[in-house]
């Protein structure tokens, strides 16, 4: 609005303008802050999704625990499941790891201790019963010497742990074989390792013999089952079904045998 006469603002009008300006600027800053927070949350969500990372947020004062969908999945829970520290976190831990993980949380929440939380543990899915290895990291936030928030992430490291265990087992098997002079013990060690590495219920080592009936297998070593279970079991012979194994040309799987 243009006026040829110079406007003389009263103190009340100036105060009103100042208040309007201050409130408008505060609103603009709040909107900017909210937009930045939403953008940051979106970047975090995209990053955690890409890295298959779950997030958790625990209030040690109200004891309210919040898990995102991925975190719930790592404990074998559906997205709609309600969670608490006792009924979800502690209950979902492997019994052998429960005490150690609980103590690590308590240390992170204790004044005077390190606020960092870095641990690996196993979970047993509360709904699916599946065992998983989890790497969890987090940090406690303190106010006036008291923990007021505990936040962090979880990641599924089951595949990595499986490879590590297999390498350890293979190294241990190689060392045991190298130190052993008895052939029967060597075969037994290798058979035991094969069962453990493959995750089979049991395994057996056979060797070929040739008699008046032709080639046949003789049970040499057994792992994961008693020998009595095979006493009345006829040994495979060099038939059309088992011929590839006798000639070293391949493995015969039960699923490949047509009845």
Which residue would you say has higher pLDDT here, 239 or 51? Answer: 239
Strands 116-124 and 64-67: unpaired
Q: Is the pLDDT of residue 22 over 80?
A: no
Tell me the backbone φ, ψ of residue 115, rounded to 5 degrees: -80, -10
- Ranges of beta strands (E only) in 60-195 are 64-67, 116-124, 131-143, 146-156
CB 216 within 8 A of CB 208: yes
3-state class of 168 per DSSP? Answer: helix
Out of 50-54, 67-71, 81-85, pick the least confident. 50-54
The mean per-residue pLDDT over the stretch 184-205 comes to 79
pLDDT of residue 146: 92
Alpha-carbon distances, residue 131 vs 55, 194, 206 (angstroms): 19, 21, 33
Max CA distance (Å), the chain: 128
Per-residue pLDDT reduced to its tens digit, 164-186: 888 888 888 888 878 877 777 78
Cα dihedral: 127, 132, 133, 138 (round 10): -30
Domain borders along the chain are 50-156, 159-200, 201-259
pLDDT band per the 50, 70, 90 thresholds, residue 117: very high
The mean per-residue pLDDT over the stretch 111-123 comes to 90
pLDDT band per the 50, 70, 90 thresholds, residue 43: low
Q: State percent of the chain over pLDDT 70.
A: 68
Which residue would you say has higher pLDDT here, 11 or 170? Answer: 170
CB 124 within 8 A of CB 90: no
Q: Is the pLDDT of residue 5 over 70?
A: no
Tell me the average pLDDT of the chain.
80
Tally of residues, the chain: 259
Per-residue pLDDT reduced to its tens digit, 120-143: 999 999 999 999 999 999 999 999
Q: List, in sequence order, every residue forming a beta bridge with 161; answer none if it has no partner.
A: none
CB 93 within 8 A of CB 119: no
CATH class of 50-156: alpha beta
């Amino acid at each position: 609005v243009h006026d040829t006469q110079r406007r003389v603002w009263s103190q009340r009008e100036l105060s009103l303008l100042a208040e309007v300006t201050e409130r408008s600027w505060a609103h603009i800053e709040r909107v900017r802050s909210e937009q930045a927070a939403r953008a940051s949350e979106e970047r975090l969500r995209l990053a955690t999704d890409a890295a298959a990372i779950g997030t958790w947020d625990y209030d040690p004062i109200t004891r309210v625990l919040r898990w995102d969908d991925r975190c719930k999945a790592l404990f074998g829970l559906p997205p709609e499941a309600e969670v608490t520290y006792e009924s979800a976190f502690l209950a979902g831990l492997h019994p052998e790891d429960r005490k150690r993980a609980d103590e690590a949380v308590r240390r992170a929440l204790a004044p005077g201790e390190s606020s960092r939380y870095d641990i690996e543990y196993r979970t047993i899915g509360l709904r699916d019963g599946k065992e998983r290895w989890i790497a969890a990291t987090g940090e406690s936030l303190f106010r006036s010497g008291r923990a007021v928030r505990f936040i962090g992430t979880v990641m599924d490291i089951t595949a990595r742990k499986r490879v590590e265990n297999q390498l350890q087992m293979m190294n241990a098997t190689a060392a045991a074989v190298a130190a052993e002079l008895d052939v029967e013990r060597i075969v037994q060690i290798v058979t035991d390792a094969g069962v453990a590495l493959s995750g089979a219920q049991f395994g057996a080592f056979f060797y070929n013999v040739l008699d008046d009936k032709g080639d046949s297998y003789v049970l040499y070593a057994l792992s994961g089952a008693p020998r009595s279970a095979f006493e009345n079991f006829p040994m495979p012979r060099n038939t059309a079904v088992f011929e590839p194994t006798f000639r070293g040309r391949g493995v015969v799987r039960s699923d490949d045998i047509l009845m």
